[in-house]
Amino acid sequence: MNQQTLRLYEMKAQIIQAVGQPIRLAILDFLKDGEQCVCDIAKAVGAERSNVSRHLTVLLNAGILECRKDGLKMIYSLRTPCIMNFFSCVADVLKSQLAKNNRVLQKL
Amino acid sequence: MNQQTLRLYEMKAQIIQAVGQPIRLAILDFLKDGEQCVCDIAKAVGAERSNVSRHLTVLLNAGILECRKDGLKMIYSLRTPCIMNFFSCVADVLKSQLAKNNRVLQKL
DNA sequence: TTAGTATGTGAGCATACACTCACAAAGGCG
DNA sequence: CGCCTTTGTGAGTGTATGCTCACATACTAA
């Protein structure tokens, strides 16, 4: 694997990793219906404001979110809504995984 | 966010997180063309055998890979090839991100 | 059986990550 | 102006992650 290929994998991994965290998944799920400010996001996902702020920074740096300032508030929104396609893929894997577990359970 | 919803996000996050690592991305990319044994995977991605073995365990636990034993060798393969749909989504985000960076660069 | 190969795993280490607390900056409102 | 709200960030902490080395296990072949 050459240096350039590795770099590409690293960039892709950064994006995927940004999505692979429960609270950040909840944030994306909450934002799929439209832009929201930090305090409302924090209420929706049930986490500390400062913590949510950091999670938003991660998603911002990964290029998944964008934000604009509106008076006191910072409004965050999905920059690439295609990111939501992720979730159907993940749901497929999850279903397949649970189905396998069920097969194992039934053999007990 | 109730306990059940949180649990669902955690399960999804586990799957996504399993994919969000450069070497594991390389492994999946290598396996998309067919099953392979550990030593060949290690050669392909250019990492230590023991390290590759652990990465394979992560992907196995996430339900993304499956394996079978063939004599001395353990043969790994994609269990849910739909996982490859991930990558086109990621590529979209990456392109969009690079395009934005280019626009910023041109303003300098 | 003995030697060699493929694989997985315990131990240890360095780093990254998620979280909380406290505080500072920016803006709205009396 | 002073006070409150919203947001981001530095510092500290505990845990998770990725990696390597050494070793044990399982199987093949002479």
Nucleotide in closest CA–C1' contact with A57: D8
Of the residues A4, A88, A89, A100, the best mutation for testing chain B's interface (the one with the most B CB atoms within 10 Å of its CB) is: A89
Residue B76 banded pLDDT, cuts 50, 70, 90:
very high
At CB < 8 Å, which residues of chain B contact A?
1, 5-6, 9-26, 29, 44-46, 62-64, 79-80, 82-83, 85-87, 89-94, 96-97, 100
On the question of pLDDT at B29 being above 90, the answer is yes
Could you report the predicted ipTM of this complex, rounded to two decimals?
Answer: 0.91
Residue A81 banded pLDDT, cuts 50, 70, 90:
confident
Question: How far is Cα A104 from Cα B70, in angstroms, rounded to an integer?
Answer: 22
Q: What is the pLDDT of residues B5-26, one digit of tens each?
A: 999 999 999 999 999 999 999 9
Domains and CATH numbers, chain B: 3-80 (1.10.10.10)
- Residue pointed to by tokens 């991100």: B97
C strand bases under 7 Å from protein CB: 4-10, 17-23, 26-28
Residue A39 near residue A81, CB atoms below 8 Å: no
Nucleotide in closest CA–C1' contact with B17: D17
Q: What is the pLDDT of residue A59?
A: 97
Nearest to A87 by CA among B55, B21, B28, B82: B82
- The more confidently predicted of residues B107 and A97 is A97
Among the residues of chain A, which ranges form H helices? 3-19, 22-31, 38-45, 49-61, 85-106
Residue B48 near residue B54, CB atoms below 8 Å: no
